[in-house]
Amino acid sequence: MSLVRLSATELLAQLTAGQITSVHLTEAYLGQIKRHDPQVKAFLRVDTQRALDRAAEIDKRRREGRPLGRLAGLPVAIKDLLCTQGEPTTCASRILENFKPPYDATVIARLKAADAVLIGKTNMDEFAMGGSTENSAFQKTANPWDLERIPGGSSGGSAACVAAGMAPMSVGSDTGGSIRQPAGLCGVTGLKPTYGRVSRYGLVAFASSLDQIGPLARTAEDTALLLEVLAGHDPLDSTSVDLPVPKYSATVKQPLKNLRLGLVREHFGEGLDGEVEAAVRQAVAVYESLGATIKDISLPHGKYGVATYYIIAPCEASSNLARYDGVHYGHRTDEKKMAAAIAAQRSTLEAAGKHVEAEALDNPLVRMYRQSRAEGFGPEVKRRIMLGTYALSAGYYDAYYLKALKVRRLIRRDYDQAFGQVDLIAGPVTATTAFKLGEKVDDPLAMYLVDLYTVSANLAGIGGIAFPCGFSEGGLPIGLQLQAPPFEEERLLRAACMFQRATDWHQRWPSMVPA
- Verify binding: residue 445, another protein, rule CB under 8 A: yes
Whether 79 is catalytic is yes
CA angle 186, 191, 194 (to 5 degrees): 150
Nearest approach, Cβ of 284 to another protein (angstroms)? 28
- Verify binding: residue 400, another protein, rule CB under 8 A: yes
Are 291 and 451 in contact by the 8 Å Cβ rule? The answer is no
- Verify binding: residue 409, another protein, rule CB under 8 A: yes
Residue 490, Cβ density class (10 Å: 0-12 exposed, 13-18 middle, ≥19 buried) = buried
Q: List phi, psi (to 5°) of 464.
A: -150, 155
- In the list 139, 282, 389, 432, the residue contacting another protein (rule: CB under 8 A) is 389
Catalytic residue selected from 7, 22, 41, 79? 79
Distance from C-alpha of 336 to C-alpha of 138, rounded to nearest angstrom: 26
Residue 209, Cβ density class (10 Å: 0-12 exposed, 13-18 middle, ≥19 buried) = middle
Whether 154 is catalytic is yes
- In the list 10, 53, 146, 237, the residue contacting another protein (rule: CB under 8 A) is 237
Residue 375, Cβ density class (10 Å: 0-12 exposed, 13-18 middle, ≥19 buried) = middle
Question: What part of residues 260-299 is at the interface with another protein (CB under 8 A)?
Answer: none
Nearest approach, Cβ of 243 to another protein (angstroms)? 10
- Verify binding: residue 405, another protein, rule CB under 8 A: yes
Scanning 344-352, 400-408, 433-441, 474-482 for contacts with another protein by CB under 8 A, the matching segment is 400-408
Size of the site for another protein (CB under 8 A): 101
Look at strands 463-471 and 477-484 and give their pairing: antiparallel
- From residue 420, how far is each of 4, 377, 416, 485 by CA, in Å? 42, 44, 6, 10
Catalytic residue selected from 136, 155, 158, 178? 178
Are 492 and 191 in contact by the 8 Å Cβ rule? The answer is yes
Scanning 147-155, 218-226, 245-253, 326-334 for contacts with another protein by CB under 8 A, the matching segment is 326-334
Which strands form 463-471's sheet, in the order they lie side by side? 43-46, 117-122, 75-79, 169-174, 212-217, 189-192, 463-471, 477-484, 424-428, 260-264, 293-297
How many beta carbons lie within 10 A of that of residue 31, not counting itself?
16
Nearest approach, Cβ of 249 to another protein (angstroms)? 25
Question: What part of residues 195-214 is at the interface with another protein (CB under 8 A)?
Answer: 195-196, 200-205, 207-210
- Verify binding: residue 378, another protein, rule CB under 8 A: no
Catalytic residue selected from 93, 132, 136, 154? 154
- In the list 325, 423, 451, 489, the residue contacting another protein (rule: CB under 8 A) is 325
Nearest approach, Cβ of 457 to another protein (angstroms)? 10
- In the list 94, 331, 491, 494, the residue contacting another protein (rule: CB under 8 A) is 331
- Verify binding: residue 352, another protein, rule CB under 8 A: no
Q: Which residues are catalytic?
A: 79, 154, 178
